[in-house]
Structures are given as structure tokens and as C-alpha cells.
Chain A
Amino acid sequence: DGGITQSPKYLFRKEGQNVTLSCEQNLNHDAMYWYRQDPGQGLRLIYYSQIVNDFQKGDIAEGYSVSREKKESFPLTVTSAQKNPTAFYLCASSLGQAAYEQYFGPGTRLTVT
């Protein structure tokens, strides 16, 4: 079955540690995205990538980093510089510029204490 996988579903870290969230897709999509979801806040775009080895900052990129070395993978690192990292993180993908739909993974809930 084609889809987007995110792992792990729940992640716990101590303050000051970097943590990397995994996102893999087998839909052969060119574009991939990372969103952050906070209660009552909707979704906010962190980073997106249109093609391999290229990515752009979204609305709230500070304290985050990404890489896109393979078409199917778009990992997100939450660095210690992110002031309030506890949130639900969603990865998405789409065919490309001409496509409208973004398909979402199941999400990773990160808790930093």
C-alpha cells in the first residue's frame, strides 16, 4: 500500500537535546512538507521541499532543520534552539507544483521536558 509513514508515533526528549523525526513516502511524490500542530492553532508550515536536495523555510522554521537527500525521505530535526518544541508534527507530500492535494502521515507527538 502506498502512503506516508512517520516514526515514532510518540517521542520523549529532555530539554537541550536535538531530536530527529522520520518521514518516508512511497507515493513517488516530488514535494514534501512538515507542519506543526498545536491545540486550537491549526497547522503551521515549518519547511517544504519541492525536489531532492532543495528545501524552503515555511512560516515557523526557526529552531528546525531538514534534509532531502532522497525523494522518499524528508527528516525533520528539532534543535535545542526551538523554544517550545512540544507539539504534534505532521509530514505531508504532494505530486508537485501542478497537484493540489497534500497527503498526510499519521503524525508524531513530541514531548520535551
Chain B
Amino acid sequence: GNSVTQMEGPVTLSEEAFLTINCTYTATGYPSLFWYVQYPGEGLQLLLKATKADDKGSNKGFEATYRKETTSFHLEKGSVQVSDSAVYFCALKPGAGSYQLTFGKGTKLSVIP
């Protein structure tokens, strides 16, 4: 079956530090990959996506590259801000014909001034 594994949190960083949140997946076929962000008490917002191998998704300074050879989609940001404090979810969608997203358990990030 399909599954997503994220690094466990919580992760605490100082402002302007470099961020990496690891995400690996198991899926049949050619899934699309996503990062969602959830701010406290809110729903999820799509942060970035990649639909095929070697694609790089980017948004708001965050980046992730779809690596088929290592089945990974690690989230990175060069310099985090306090406003980036949130829970980050990695997710996959098996293929264009599938409606179902499979989520990782989420990684809580806290950025301190």
C-alpha cells in the first residue's frame, strides 16, 4: 500500500536557521507529492507540490525535490522565521485517477527569536 514517513518532531530552530524536514514514501506507480502546512487552530494549506521525478516545488522560500531513486521529498528552507512555526505534513497522491491523499503524521516546527 501507500505510505508516507516523516521525521518526528518537534523541531525547534532559532530564527534564520536552515530547515530540513525529511519525508520518504512508498507507493506504486508514479505518485504526486505535496507539502501542506497547518498553523495553530487552522486547516491545512498547500505549501508546494511536485508531480513527477526531479520536479522541484517551491513557495515562500520553501523547496522540495521529488527524488524517485531515494523515494524522498524533503522540505528545506534556507532561513526560517518565527512566522514559519506550524505543523508540516508530507502527502502523496497515487496517480491522476486517484482522489485519495495519504498523509504523513506531521512535523511540528517551532522557531524562536
Residues in chain A near residue B28, CB distance under 8 A: none
Are A104 and B106 touching (Cβ within 8 A)? no
Please choose the segment from B60-68, B76-84, B91-99 that sits at the chain A interface, where 4 or more of its residues have CB less than 8 A away. Answer: B91-99
Q: Which size bracket describes the interface of A in this complex?
A: 20 to 34
Residues in chain B near residue A40, CB distance under 8 A: 105-106
Kindly state whether residue A85 has any CB partner on chain B within 8 Å: no
Complex Cα spacing A90 to B32, Å: 21
Are B105 and A102 touching (Cβ within 8 A)? no
Kindly state whether residue B45 has any CB partner on chain A within 8 Å: yes
Residues in chain A near residue B43, CB distance under 8 A: 4, 6, 90, 92, 104-107
Residues in chain A near residue B105, CB distance under 8 A: 40-42
Least Cβ–Cβ distance between B86 and chain A, in angstroms: 13
Least Cβ–Cβ distance between A98 and chain B, in angstroms: 6
Are A106 and B93 touching (Cβ within 8 A)? no
Kindly state whether residue B44 has any CB partner on chain A within 8 Å: yes
**What is the interface of chain A, defined by CB distance below 8 A to chain B?**
4, 6, 31, 33, 40-45, 48, 50, 58, 90, 92, 94, 97-98, 100-107
